Amino acid sequence: MGLIAMSERDLQRIEILSKVIDGRMTLVSAARILGLSERQVRRLLAQIRRHRSGTRQSAGGRTTGSTTAGRPADL
């Protein structure tokens, strides 16, 4: 894998969120430090966990819009 350019803010976010994942910091503390809501921190943590596990978010049972009523959208 090549180099990834990140801002200082992104690096700080990853460092703090890693502490939460490792159990060295609470979600509430992380939210306060990052200036985010607890809900947003939970979303970021879920995104990191999905990325680490290699899974992608599904469409949640919905169609992706590529078909309409069982036929291709361009027909």
Statement: residue 61 has pLDDT above 60: no
pLDDT of residue 65: 59
The ranges assigned to domains in the chain are 10-52
pLDDT of residue 59: 55
How do residues 7-34 score in pLDDT, each as one tens digit? 998 999 999 999 999 999 999 999 999 9
Q: How many percent of the chain have pLDDT more than 90?
A: 51
Q: How far apart are CA 58 and CA 60, in angstroms?
A: 5
Exposed (0-12), middle (13-18) or buried (19+): which is 48, by Cβ within 10 Å?
Answer: middle
pLDDT of residue 75: 54
